[in-house]
Structure 1
Amino acid sequence: MTDTTALDSFLDKWRSRWPEWRVVKVFVPEPQRRLALAWFALLQEFVDTMNVAGDPLPADAKLGWWGEELRDWSNQRSRHPLGRVLEPVRAPWFELAEALPVLVRLREPLGDANAAIQLVRPLATAIAQVESALFGSAGGEALVDSISAQWLAARLLDSVDAVLPGEGQAGPGPAYRQWSAELLGRWPPRRGAVARRLWSALARSRLQRCPGPAEGVAPLPPLRALWLGWRAASRR
Structure 2
Amino acid sequence: MTDSTALDGFLEKWRTRWPEWRVVEVFVPLSQRQLAVAWFALLQEFTDAMNIAGDPLPADAKLAWWGEELRDWSRQRSRHPLGRVLEPNRAPWFELAEALPALIRLRERPLEPAAAFELTRPLATAVAHVESALFGSARTGQPLVQAISAQWLATRLDGAGDAAIPVHFGNHADSSQRGWSQQLLEQWPARNGGAVPRRLWSALARSRLQRFTAAGEGYAPLSPVRALWLGWRAARRR
The amino acid that maps onto 2:165 is L
Percent identical across equivalent pairs? 71
Q: Which runs of 5+ in 2 are unaligned?
A: none
Which residue of the partner structure matches residue 145 of structure 2? 144
Find the aligned partners of 1:141 and 1:211 in 2 and give their Cα distance: 28
Indicate if the aligned counterparts of 1:23 and 1:222 stay in contact, CA closer than 8 A: yes
> Which structure 2 residues correspond to residues 167-182 of structure 1 after superposition, within 5 A?
169=170, 174-182=175-183
Normalising by structure 1, we get a TM-score of: 0.96
Q: Which runs of 5+ in 1 are unaligned?
A: none
Give the drift of 1:176. Answer: 1.1
Find the aligned partners of 1:232 and 1:17 in 2 and give their Cα distance: 20
Indicate if the aligned counterparts of 2:113 and 2:169 stay in contact, CA closer than 8 A: no
Give the drift of 1:134. Answer: 0.2
- Which sits farther off after the overlay, 193-202 or 152-161? 152-161
The amino acid that maps onto 2:12 is D
Give the drift of 1:158. Answer: 2.2
Indicate if the aligned counterparts of 1:190 and 1:201 stay in contact, CA closer than 8 A: no
Indicate if the aligned counterparts of 2:154 and 2:184 stay in contact, CA closer than 8 A: yes
Determine helix, strand or coil for the equivalent of 2:176.
helix
Change (3 A) 1:160 1:182: closer
Give the drift of 1:14. Answer: 0.2
Give the drift of 1:230. Answer: 0.4
Normalising by structure 2, we get a TM-score of: 0.95
Indicate if the aligned counterparts of 1:167 and 1:175 stay in contact, CA closer than 8 A: no
- Which sits farther off after the overlay, 159-168 or 70-79? 159-168
> Number of aligned pairs?
235
Change (3 A) 1:160 1:108: same
Give the drift of 1:163. Answer: 3.7
Q: Could you list the runs of 4 or more consecutive aligned residues of structure 1 that deviate by over 2 angstroms after TM superposition?
A: 158-163, 166-171
Give the drift of 1:63. Answer: 0.4
Indicate if the aligned counterparts of 2:162 and 2:176 stay in contact, CA closer than 8 A: no
Indicate if the aligned counterparts of 1:73 and 1:87 stay in contact, CA closer than 8 A: yes
The amino acid that maps onto 2:197 is A
Which residue of the partner structure matches residue 218 of structure 2? 216
Which residue of the partner structure matches residue 78 of structure 2? 78
Indicate if the aligned counterparts of 2:128 and 2:144 stay in contact, CA closer than 8 A: yes
The amino acid that maps onto 2:223 is P
Indicate if the aligned counterparts of 1:166 and 1:175 stay in contact, CA closer than 8 A: no
> Which structure 2 residues correspond to residues 104-119 of structure 1 after superposition, within 5 A?
104-119=104-119
